[in-house]
Chains A and B, each alone.
Chain A
């Protein structure tokens, strides 16, 4: 199939101070090719100055989130046949564009750090001195939120984040969810405080853009809702009904 590609370019080094659209034509595209491969073909065959991030190319590292035909997705997970013969690609919104499809991820990562996304437990280690084991039912509470790869597709699909870069954003809340509802973790108080701040979880207006944007199929708005209820209650116990968790294993 033939594809006409429209890419949002921005290259201040080349003297173009404003973003602009550039079009490319690609022939002999396999329907099973992924958008990332098409971007590679543009870069390798037509315009070597095109800049974008990618690492694993397998939907795991989360570095190639972009807005493809109006919706956030990972370029390495979207197939040409699912996008159609006309493809429009632009950087994710709400973060400063550095060059072409590359945005400054630092504000996003700062919000991530804000929710203390690490395991907190100063209690004594188990008798064998090894890992802290967890029952499968307890693990089920956080399985969905552990799937997050920090690609920022959810956060940059959120109108609240577009308006207000101070808002902690969906991804950071999903990461907080992963530790808040970890039954072995004891850092909830500090995390709930951070999330209860004026630009914390309350800026979510339940718009639901984040959930379909997630390339990992995480129930993002649900996770945010559960964190809201936890912040309101000041505790995480009893917020999630185990019977409502979809089975992933």
Chain B
């Protein structure tokens, strides 16, 4: 904890160049995206496992709090992507380091240039929605819906601490590195390369995902009754439920292949691995003084990644049938009656 406090205060005090601030933004944007990733993957899996809850989750996404968060999320993803490209470039071309300051400035500039039209389009969807006199969940309801995550987070942290404790008992003492693999070297080398290679694969996938879900249409159009479902070539969302929206996308077959399921699987697997390994980097950076906490950090990231993969892959392999859509309709009616 003290090392985190010192790093924060001294990063504010040390007059490093722009690279230091790029690093701060890279960490903060990465942490923000991972946090939303957890909510989002768990929420989306409910489209298969718990349709009522999925309707409620999408209703919370269509509230002012999440609308503000959505702009932050898109900004974070765009900055993290471009700054990541800069880091990858200089990691593989260290002799060009003299251009890094200029590159960091260009990253900021390109982020702003990309975000300007994106935000305008997103803002258009926001205006359309809030001008249509929608039924919006009150803030207390939105926050209450997020409360279900709290026990999950606490359980994961407690489980990680217990696993770390057991690990310490079995291994008969504290390993200095806190990395589960005692040798560590090979796995660290793998993860360093993975972070860089995966980022290049994630980039087109995540930009495509953001374009489809946040820019071409808004989060509000997920529940637009009688509208084309984006990316399906004209399939209509008859019931106007989020559950049917997901079903229409995931059931779209192109040449016999459920293309959106494949797409979402690739995005899920890469982003979960990249995001949780990034989280592991951050957590282990600040827990070097305590092998116990450092191991717990590693376990926490493994548990988080595993949970999201199980839920996400489970949902992607699942089916959304008529019953699920009916449950969605009922949930929606209840939500609207309540608000």
Of B11, B101, B188, B288, which one neighbours A165 at CB under 8 angstroms? B288
Query: B100 — nearest CB in chain A belongs to which residue?
Result: A208
Given contacts A202-B189, A221-B94, contact A159 B3 (CB under 8 A): no
The answer to whether B14 touches A163 (Cβ under 8 A) is: no
Cα distance, A105 to B190, chains bound together (Å): 32
Residues of B14-58 whose CB lies within 8 A of A? 14-17, 19-20, 22-23
The answer to whether B7 touches A232 (Cβ under 8 A) is: no
Cα distance, A165 to B288, chains bound together (Å): 7
Query: A199 — nearest CB in chain B belongs to which residue?
Result: B177
Interface residues of B (CB under 8 A from A): 3-4, 6-7, 10-11, 13-17, 19-20, 22-23, 87, 90-95, 97, 100-101, 176-179, 184-186, 188-189, 191-193, 281, 284-286, 288-289
Query: B19 — nearest CB in chain A belongs to which residue?
Result: A208
Given contacts A159-B23, A163-B286, A196-B188, contact A225 B11 (CB under 8 A): no
Query: B183 — nearest CB in chain A belongs to which residue?
Result: A197
CB neighbours of A159 from chain B (8 A): 7, 10-11, 14, 16, 20, 23
Kindly provide the distance from the CB of A78 to the nearest chain B CB, expressed in whole angstroms. 14
Binds B, one of A17-25, A64-72, A125-133: A64-72
The answer to whether A196 touches B185 (Cβ under 8 A) is: yes
Q: Does more than half of chain B's interface fall in helix, strand or loop, or is it mixed? A: helix
Of A193, A208, A209, A241, which one neighbours B95 at CB under 8 angstroms? A241
Of B15, B177, B188, which one neighbours A71 at CB under 8 angstroms? B15
The answer to whether A211 touches B189 (Cβ under 8 A) is: no
Of A70, A211, A231, which one neighbours B97 at CB under 8 angstroms? A211
Kindly provide the distance from the CB of B12 to the nearest chain A CB, expressed in whole angstroms. 10
Kindly provide the distance from the CB of B11 to the nearest chain A CB, expressed in whole angstroms. 6
CB of A185 closer than 8 Å to a CB of B: no
Given contacts A208-B101, A222-B94, 8 further A-B contacts (CB under 8 A): A71-B14, A93-B6, A198-B184, A206-B23, A208-B19, A208-B97, A225-B97, A240-B95
The answer to whether B14 touches A231 (Cβ under 8 A) is: no
Kindly provide the distance from the CB of A125 to the nearest chain B CB, expressed in whole angstroms. 33
Of A163, A197, A206, which one neighbours B87 at CB under 8 angstroms? A206
CB of A229 closer than 8 Å to a CB of B: yes
The answer to whether A209 touches B19 (Cβ under 8 A) is: yes
